[in-house]
Amino acid sequence: MKIGIIGSGAVAQTLGKRLIGLGHDLVLGTRDPDKLDDKKMFAATLREWKSQTDERARVGTFKEAAAHGELLINATAGEVSLDALKLAAADKVGAKVLIDVANELDHSKGMPPRALASQERCLAEKIQAAFPHLKVVKSLNTIGAPVMVDPKALGGGDHTVFVSGNDADAKATVVALLKSFGWTDVLDLGDLSSARGPEMYMGMWIRLWGATKTPMLNIKVVR
């Protein structure tokens, strides 16, 4: 499948490498594709990423990534996602599925970062409102990048990932992609308003990370 990732940080790079490994035709979108040697937080430079990934690994602008993908992934920092999607001209790409894996975090008050989600502030709903043609599906935002793409690396894969969205076919596409990563317990939370749940959970995830001292963690919904 042709996939465009909006974003080029740690999450985007990890998702991108995995998707290329699964045989997808990927463009990783970044603000300025000429800056292949810029240092990134918790991640390789894009030149390193390309060399470590595959000869097929392509870097383009946000706009090129959005135009390329039949499926899009928002893997930017949540605070800048709306701006990045505007730069990507995501309002002009038609009715594509967008997986929103981002969280709005405030790093300005030191550690731990503060998850900004609330009942009044849900990034996925803001993206859907700003880009009504996109079929936004919230997923994977509750999980650190290495576990996102390789659930079996943690606890044998016996834990849960979530999907929220208004379009059943779009959710089915995302569920199939998650299963190709190795996910077995995919819980459909409902329409896009249910994304408030996993977004608010980020406030919990950060505390779990602090208590366990590892991002190699996830929750299993026991029911």
Residues contributing to the site for its own copies (CB under 8 A): 106, 114-119, 154-155, 158-159, 164, 187-190, 194, 196-208, 210-212, 214, 216-223
Judged by CB, which is closer to its own copies: 130, or 217?
217
- Here the tokens at position 45 are 């430079």
Q: How far apart are CA 49 and CA 16, in angstroms?
A: 9
> What is the closest distance, in whole angstroms, from the C-beta atom of residue 15 to its own copies in the complex?
21
Q: Cα–Cα distance between 125 and 99 in angstroms, integer? A: 12
Least gap, CB of 218 to its own copies (angstroms): 5
Instruction: Name 181's bridge partners.
Output: none
Q: In this complex, which beta carbon is closest to its own copies, that of residue 28 or of residue 136?
A: 136
Burial group, residue 98, by CB count within 10 angstroms (0-12, 13-18, 19+): buried
Of 70 and 190, which CB lies nearer to its own copies in the complex structure?
Answer: 190
**Spatial separation of the C-alpha atoms in residues 160 and 143, rounded to whole Å:** 10
Whole-angstrom distance, CA of residue 104 vs CA of residue 98 = 17
Q: Which is nearer to its own copies, 51 or 214 (CB)?
A: 214
Whole-number minimum distance, CB 163 to its own copies, in Å?
Answer: 10
For residue 107, give the nearest of 42, 55, 162 by alpha carbon.
42
- Secondary structure letter of residue 92 according to DSSP: G
Least Å from the CB of residue 22 to its own copies: 24
Which C-beta is closer to its own copies: that of 93 or that of 192? Answer: 192
Peptide bond into 215 cis (omega under 30): no
Shortest distance in whole angstroms from residue 101 CB to its own copies: 16
C-alpha angle 31-36-40 in degrees, rounded to nearest 5: 75
Which H or E run contains 14?
helix 10-21
CB of 180 to its own copies, least distance (A): 21
Q: Which is nearer to its own copies, 55 or 211 (CB)?
A: 211
